[in-house]
Structure 1
Amino acid sequence: MEETLVERGKSLAAPTIFIIVAAFHFLSRYIELNKKKKGSLNAKDDQLRSEIKELLKEASSLSQPSTFAQAAKLRRMAAAKEKELAKNQEIQKKEVKSSYDTQEKILKISNVLAYAVLIIWFWRMPVATISEELVQPFGKMLSWRSGGALKDHVTVGIMPWLIVSARVNRFICRKVLK
């Protein structure tokens, strides 16, 4: 009875590790994609844009030589508001970037800690067993640091399983989250 529970626990180890690795990859990809998106628009920026548009429209309507000075004044006001808008957007971009940088650092640290815990936990223990015919040329590589060998089966160690899981999940994340 105890052997079946141990075997059942080992059989759940590989999918559990794969899901943990997938979660870290999806979170990092999600943060990366949100970081690339532009910062959210706020009401102040919208108001500045509408004021700039109105000033430029008003300045273009004043095309007579007698109203040239007034049109130039309106254009200078629009240029000042454009500078203010650019400054606001730059500040907002820096704030968004710093918050995402903090999230990325926390995720990387927790990723390293999770990998370390998994490696320590499964160091000399096989994560999964696969039929030898399925992994014929790579059997020795997959069974690295996994303990003993079984008859007609290859045991998969934690290091090769983490590498394979990471590669597969990175590929899936890039295809799913574009």
Structure 2
Amino acid sequence: MVLPVGFAAAADANLQLFGRDVGKEKAYACYARKYTKAHLASHPDQNVRDMMVFVDSHEDEEGAGRQYVLGMSVNFRQLKQPYSTYGGCSAGTDGKQALNCGIDCDGGTIGVRIKDRNSILLDIPNGARVSDDDNEEELSELPDGAKFGSDDKIFRLDRTDLSACLPLATDEETRAALRAAH
């Protein structure tokens, strides 16, 4: 059997991204990182204090293939409340990106690369629109500190327990699956 170009790469990226062969079933991945004071001191132009990424994936019932949604929560240095963003993703076809994600309503792009078995690299070359989790305000209405800095372009995040991503789950079915996973 000859696989279409890019199919093997996408299957391998799924295996690495989700940590297992997901076949046709729903799959979830959670990655996070809290930056240390020492790291932040050595990167004064990095505004991101910590970040969490949740990837929700399923096979489309109408035959369009595997679908991906990325949710991201970020805490900025000077602000206490988290900010989040969501977008749909497509499987990478360039051999570099596992996922290419567009943030809803032209809010930027995020690329997901596989670093190793338990880590990803998140590429946010031009920032991304975020909203206040409590008020869902638009970016223009957010405090000055609620934006990506000039050193907020590439992030290494490490795989973590799925239950850590409960705040990023968008429906009760997904939340129940995340609770049951650990």
Taking structure 1 as the reference length, the TM-score comes to 0.20
Max Rg structure: 1
* Between structures 1 and 2, the one with greater helix share: 1
Give the structure, 1 or 2, with the largest relative contact order (CA under 8 Å, sep 6 or more). Answer: 1
Taking structure 2 as the reference length, the TM-score comes to 0.20
